[in-house]
């Protein structure tokens, strides 16, 4: 994770939270194209709050967020959505739209009229195929499982064709097969130049998908850097209050096993 003017996501002395409660203070992050940053930390550490602030869902309480050098506070919805796509942890999908219709909503930032264009349909088709939900394209989203809904939200974000992808625990409802497919998808997007910032609950999943890690605890960043270094740091035990046994797999990635 490098700090430079080339960063496609940059947080500068960012404070996040709510009027009655600050969750994070003094957040400095620089994430460049091709990098996958895993936001780590216990429940309530501020991972989701940070993502929502970057995405302008929550206003910052201090500092600023830049996407491709532009302050998100000065961007309107369409401008920001052409630069940044956000996959929330959950989203109520209570109307009987089909999967295809929901994914096409990701094309709204590019729309110039009320009708979907052939380009919109092509982008939605590609996104559904990448996210593994093309076979359910014509099913109502109200009939989907939690994991299927997560794949639809990922497809909608991909349809935006934004260079920055924010993901809030995007695989929490997925089985292991679909989790690994999501890992491959994220890595492929990064290899094509996307900048990915993801809140990750599973530390071993973070080791598989991320290039870098950012560990949040008690309102601040307590460790950041290459993901292997973050997962190898003893501060992890202090933050999670769990002892870990560490091994490296055949590709040299750190694997953690909690000791009971």
> What helix, strand, coil percent values describe the chain, rounded to 5?
40, 30, 35
Q: Is the separation of the CB atoms in 52 and 58 below 8 Å? A: yes
User: Strands 243-248, 254-259: parallel, antiparallel or unpaired by DSSP?
Assistant: antiparallel
Per-residue pLDDT for 227 more than 90? yes
Beta strand residue intervals within 88-242, DSSP E: 164-168, 195-199, 212-217, 220-226
Query: How confident is the model over 216-220, as a mean pLDDT?
Result: 97
Domain parsing of the chain, residue ranges: 9-259
Structure tokens at 216: 């949040």
State yes or no: pLDDT of 3 exceeds 60.
no
Asked whether the predicted pLDDT for residue 2 surpasses 50, the reply is no
Residue 254: pLDDT over 60: yes
Closest CA to 189 of 167, 204, 173: 167
| pLDDT tens profile 11-33 | 999 999 998 999 999 999 999 99
Query: What are the residues whose beta carbons fall under 8 Å from the beta carbon of 260, sequence distance 6 or more?
Result: none
> Does the pLDDT value for residue 4 go beyond 70?
no
**Count of CA atoms in the C-beta half-sphere (13 A) of 108:** 13
Overall average pLDDT of the 236-249 stretch: 94
The dihedrals phi and psi of 35, each to the nearest 5 degrees, come to -100, 145
Give the span between the Cα atoms of 251 and 53, in whole angstroms. Answer: 35
Confidence of residue 7 (pLDDT cuts 50, 70, 90): low
Question: Residues 208, 209, 212, CA angle at the centre, nearest 5°?
Answer: 105
Q: Which CATH architecture has domain 9-259?
A: 3-Layer(aba) Sandwich (3.40)
50: pLDDT strictly greater than 50? yes
Residues 176 and 205 sit within 8 Å (Cβ to Cβ): no
88-134 pLDDT, tens digit per residue, is 988 877 788 999 999 999 999 988 766 789 999 999 999 999 999 99
**How far, CA to CA in Å, does 34 sit from each of 99, 166, 253?**
29, 13, 18
Chain CA centroid to CA 226, Å: 17
- Predicted pLDDT of residue 53: 97
- The predicted structure's pLDDT at residue 93: 77
Per-residue confidence band for 6, with pLDDT thresholds at 50, 70 and 90:
low
Q: What is the reported pLDDT for 5?
A: 44
**Contact between 160 and 82 (Cβ < 8 Å):** yes
Both structure tokens of 74: 């000065």
- The H or E element that residue 27 is part of is strand 21-31
For residue 181, count other CB atoms closer than 10 A to its CB: 17
- Model confidence pLDDT, tens digit, residues 131-190: 999 999 999 999 999 999 999 999 999 999 999 999 999 999 999 999 999 999 999 999
């Amino acid at each position: 994770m490098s700090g430079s003017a080339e960063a496609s996501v940059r947080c500068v002395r960012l404070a996040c939270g709510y009027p009655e409660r600050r969750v994070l203070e003094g957040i400095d992050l620089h994430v460049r194209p091709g990098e996958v940053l895993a936001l780590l930390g216990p429940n309530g550490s501020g991972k989701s709050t940070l993502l929502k602030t970057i995405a302008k869902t929550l206003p910052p309480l201090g500092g600023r967020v830049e996407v491709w050098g532009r302050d998100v506070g000065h961007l309107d919805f369409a401008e920001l959505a052409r630069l940044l796509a956000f996959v929330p942890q959950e989203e109520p999908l209570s109307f009987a739209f089909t999967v295809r219709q929901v994914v096409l909503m990701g094309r709204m930032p590019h729309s110039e009229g009320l009708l979907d264009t052939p380009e919109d349909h092509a982008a939605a088709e590609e996104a559904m195929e990448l996210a593994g939900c093309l076979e359910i394209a014509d099913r109502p989203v109200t009939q989907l499982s939690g994991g299927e809904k997560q794949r639809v939200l990922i497809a909608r974000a991909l349809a935006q064709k934004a260079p920055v992808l924010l993901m809030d625990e995007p695989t929490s409802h997925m089985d292991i097969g679909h989790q690994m497919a999501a890992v491959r998808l994220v890595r492929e997007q990064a290899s094509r130049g996307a900048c990915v910032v993801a809140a990750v609950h599973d530390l071993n999943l973070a080791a598989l998908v991320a290039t870098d890690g950012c560990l949040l605890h008690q309102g601040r960043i307590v460790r950041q850097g290459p993901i292997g270094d973050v997962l190898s740091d003893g501060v992890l035990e202090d933050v999670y209050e769990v002892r870990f046994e560490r091994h490296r797999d055949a590709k040299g990635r750190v694997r953690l096993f909690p000791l009971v």
